[in-house]
Structure formats: structure tokens, C-alpha cells
């Protein structure tokens, strides 16, 4: 079974600064997907960014980017120019490849990020 | 498009009572999922439906049943609620073949006394 580990239960960052959230995972699969979801106080789960394991290029979405290290099984999220609206729980998630469990997600326990004015 | 919707948003039950959590999507998702979220934990998969007419157990299925009523609707039933089922429940949908991203509903906060 896959496991996802987020080693930082809580983090804080000054507004406009950069912060990196860590995520490691354990799998024997070669092809898979990785995601970061954001959960603000509203409780809604919002997709931040996704990465396909067979792509070497790191995914980026505006101020959000990832550092995907496949050999190390590491998938960190970098938030640049942090904004107050980035305050939320962030969950790293692993998805099995197609045909091996119908795209099931395995989540880490989350990192609570606070952006300080 | 409303996306993925869930009803109710909040519910309080007594131990032993039953209830059904409703989930509907208008995004033409083939697959639908039910997760629970407990304090200090990430989301854990209860049941999923890979396609209309099929359902399968996830990581924590005990105490729950599901029904994929049609392509749009996927319900979660607690036959005899227990305090251990106090949690926030999320429904999610995923698109057609080759589409890997799951989109989540707003969640239902359930308290079992």
C-alpha cells in the first residue's frame, strides 16, 4: 500500500515571502500521479497543482510550483509571493495509475500554513 | 455548473440512528468517491464507484453502504451510526478515461452523539 508523509504539521510565512512544503511518498509503482490540494477554513478541497510521474518537468501554476524528485520519492510545493488567502491546510496526495485501483487517492495528514501580514 | 454538491451540510445523529448522505455532480464524471476526514488525518477513502453500476470498498468501508443511483448521484448510508463515525464527509468526482483529477464537494459535517 502507498503511504504519503508530510513531515511539517504546521508552518508560517510572512506575506510576500516564499515557503516550501515537504511531501514524501512510498510506492513500488513506476507510473502515477501526485497532487497538492488546499483546504481553507471554508473546508472546500481545492486542487492546487498536479504532476504526472512520467514527466520530468516540474509542474507550475502561477505562484505555485513543485520540486518532483522521482528517485527520492519527494514532491515538495513551493509558494512564491505568499498571500493572506494562501492560509489553509495543504494536503499532498498520491494516485495509483489507471487499472490499479480506479484512480484512488491516498492523502498525507496535511500541513497547516499560516500567512502572517 | 454546480460541480459536485452534497446534502446536508451539517447533521447531528444519535447513536443507532440511520441516515443517507447525498452527492450529485453535473460534470459528467464517470467515477465518484466518498472520503472521511478526521482531525489530524488526511482524507481516507470509504467507497468508490468506478462507473455507473459498480461500487468498491476503499480503505475504511466498515459501517457504511453506498449506492450509485445513476451517473450523477452517489449516496453514502450509515445504517446504525456510531460515535466513531463523527467526521467530515467528502464526495468527489472524476472525469472520463485519462482524466485523473478528482473534484470535491463542500463536505458534510456529521456528529454522532
pLDDT in tens, B23-60: 999 988 889 999 999 988 889 999 999 888 899 999 99
Residue of chain B with shortest Cα separation from A110? B42
Among the partner-chain residues B31, B41, B45, the one whose CB lies closest to the CB of A109 is B41
Asked if B108 has any chain A CB less than 8 Å from its own CB, the reply is no
Q: How far is B63 from chain A (nearest CA, A)?
A: 20
Quick one: average pLDDT of A28-48?
A: 93
**Grid cell locating B20:** 443517507
Using the structure block, give the residue that is written with the C-alpha cell 492546487: A48
Q: What is the DSSP code string of A66-95? A: EEEETTTTEEEEEE-S--GGG-EEEEEEEE
Q: What percent of chain A has pLDDT over 70?
A: 96
Among the partner-chain residues B43, B50, B106, the one whose CB lies closest to the CB of A44 is B106
Ranges assigned E (strand) in A1-117:
3-5, 10-14, 19-21, 24-26, 33-39, 46-52, 60-61, 64-69, 74-79, 88-95, 105-107, 111-116
Asked if B63 has any chain A CB less than 8 Å from its own CB, the reply is no
pLDDT digits (tens, 9 = 90+) for A41-82: 999 999 999 999 988 899 999 999 999 999 999 999 999 999
Quick one: average pLDDT of B5-24?
A: 96
> For all residues of chain B together, what is the average pLDDT?
92
Cis peptide, bond prior to residue B8, ω within 30 of zero: yes
Q: Which of B24, B26, A4 is nearest to B34 (CA)?
A: B24
The Cα B94–Cα A95 span in angstroms is: 12
Strands B10-13 and B108-112: parallel
Residue A11 confidence (pLDDT) above 90: yes
Query: Residue B86 pairs with which residues in a beta bridge?
Result: none
The Cα B75–Cα B78 span in angstroms is: 10
**Grid cell locating A56:** 520530468
Q: How far is A54 from chain B (nearest CA, A)?
A: 14
Comparing A2-6, A39-43, A96-100, B74-78, the range with the smallest average pLDDT is A96-100
pLDDT score, position B97:
59
Residue A101 confidence (pLDDT) above 60: no
Quick one: average pLDDT of A31-41?
A: 94
Q: How far is B93 from chain A (nearest CA, A)?
A: 11
- Measured from the Cβ of residue B47, the count of other Cβ atoms closer than 10 Å reads 22
Q: What is the DSSP code string of B39-82? A: TT--EEEEEEESSTT--EE-S--TT-EEEE-SSSBEEEEESS--
Q: Between chains, do B42 and A104 touch, taking CB under 8 Å as contact?
A: no
Residue of chain A with shortest Cα separation from B39? A109
Coil, helix or strand at residue A3 = strand
Residue of chain B with shortest Cα separation from A5? B42
- As to burial, measured by CB atoms within 10 angstroms (0-12 exposed, 13-18 middle, 19+ buried), residue A14 is exposed
Residue A99 confidence (pLDDT) above 70: no
pLDDT score, position B96:
63
pLDDT score, position A26:
95
- Chain A residues with CB-CB distance to B101 below 8 A: 35, 47, 50
Q: What percent of chain B has pLDDT over 90?
A: 75
Amino acid at each position: 500500500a502507498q503511504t504519503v508523509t508530510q513531515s511539517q504539521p504546521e508552518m508560517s510565512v510572512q506575506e510576500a515571502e516564499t515557503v516550501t512544503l515537504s511531501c514524501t511518498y512510498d510506492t513500488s509503482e513506476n507510473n502515477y500521479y501526485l497532487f497538492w490540494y488546499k483546504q481553507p477554513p471554508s473546508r472546500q478541497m481545492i486542487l492546487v497543482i498536479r504532476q504526472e510521474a512520467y514527466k520530468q518537468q516540474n509542474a507550475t501554476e502561477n505562484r505555485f510550483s513543485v520540486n518532483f524528485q522521482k528517485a527520492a520519492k519527494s514532491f515538495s510545493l513551493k509558494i512564491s509571493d505568499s498571500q493572506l488567502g494562501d492560509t489553509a491546510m495543504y494536503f499532498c496526495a498520491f494516485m495509483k495509475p489507471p487499472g490499479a485501483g480506479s484512480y484512488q487517492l491516498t492523502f498525507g495528514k496535511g500541513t497547516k500554513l499560516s500567512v502572517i501580514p | 455548473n454546480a460541480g459536485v454538491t452534497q446534502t446536508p451540510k451539517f447533521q447531528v445523529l444519535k447513536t443507532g440512528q440511520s441516515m443517507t448522505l447525498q452527492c450529485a455532480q453535473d460534470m459528467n464524471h464517470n467515477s465518484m468517491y466518498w472520503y472521511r476526514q478526521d482531525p489530524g488525518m488526511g482524507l481516507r477513502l470509504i467507497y468508490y464507484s468506478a462507473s455507473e453500476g459498480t461500487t468498491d470498498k476503499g480503505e475504511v468501508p466498515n459501517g457504511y453502504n453506498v449506492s450509485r443511483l445513476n451517473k450523477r448521484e452517489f449516496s453514502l448510508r450509515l445504517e446504525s451510526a456510531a460515535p466513531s463515525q463523527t467526521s467530515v464527509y467528502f464526495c468527489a468526482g472524476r472525469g472520463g478515461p485519462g482524466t485523473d483529477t478528482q473534484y470535491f464537494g463542500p463536505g458534510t459535517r456529521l456528529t454522532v452523539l
